[in-house]
Amino acid sequence: MMFLINERDVEWRRLDKGDAKGVLGKYLITDKEGAKKFHMRVFMVMPGGNTSFDQHIYEHEVYVMKGTGKLITIKENIKNEVTIKEGDAILVESNEIHQFFNNGVEPLIFLCVKGDPSIY
């Protein structure tokens, strides 16, 4: 059955995973809402904040909705660092180490769609 939710109706919650700082999240569509293969979340990284230094089996796709920042990835011992900004679409591959940083002056907000670990 179809599921509909408005992002404005979901409260931000603080995320303290690993070395993350200044990160808030909204889990919009997950297995709790019936999603079997993909999950949709929105993250907000406050100025000076960062997500955790992370690696996992599932890939995820990111769309930067607001703000600027930096993304560091490491795959097969190759480090890549890029500037990210509003309108950018990013693929973080399966098992690619990654971390998002907000080095701007406003919140960095991005939509993140990830595959459920069960499909890998």
The class level of CATH for 12-119 reads mainly beta
112 residue type, one letter: C
Supply the mean pLDDT for the chain.
96
Convert the pLDDT of each residue in 17-26 to its tens digit.
Answer: 899 999 999 9
The full length of the chain comes to 120
Q: What is the DSSP letter of 33?
A: G
90 and 84 Cβ atoms separated by less than 8 Å: yes
pLDDT of residue 47 exceeding 90: yes
How far apart (Å, rounded) are the C-alpha atoms in residues 13 and 25?
Answer: 5
Of 97, 99, 117, 94, give the one whose Cα is nearest residue 43: 99
pLDDT of residue 117 exceeding 90: no
